[in-house]
Chains A and B, each alone.
Chain A
């Protein structure tokens, strides 16, 4: 089960990378960062399934919570910076 979750997380992140590399325009590329926190969630779920509520499991939960909370903030800040730089027209 944990191997499936790890594989799903890696595939999702690979798709994010493909989107960032292939889609034209930084603002369009920014949209492909949206699924990245979901991949972090999948990886942390894999750790929890395999290790349970151990030290590394608690670290995984903290990483997932932090990423889920901060990723939208960071995306908004990056989008605003791109807008100020005039790179949001592609």
Chain B
């Protein structure tokens, strides 16, 4: 997409950004409410899931990744993959000692 086209699109997005923000607020209240349920075992998993959804929304819409070229999305994937693998290998030590 050319820079001019992008300018047009991002420029008309005020309302859409507010909707995105609203969804983030909703997810925040969701995560706080779920925490009140004290689910112990699943608490952290659900919290991380909701947090990741929020992060994904910020990346996709606020950080404009949705409209960026594929290469940036690939790079983000590589960086996330790197971190995931590091974490998994570290846990292969910590969990099995």
Does A associate with B in a complex? Answer: no
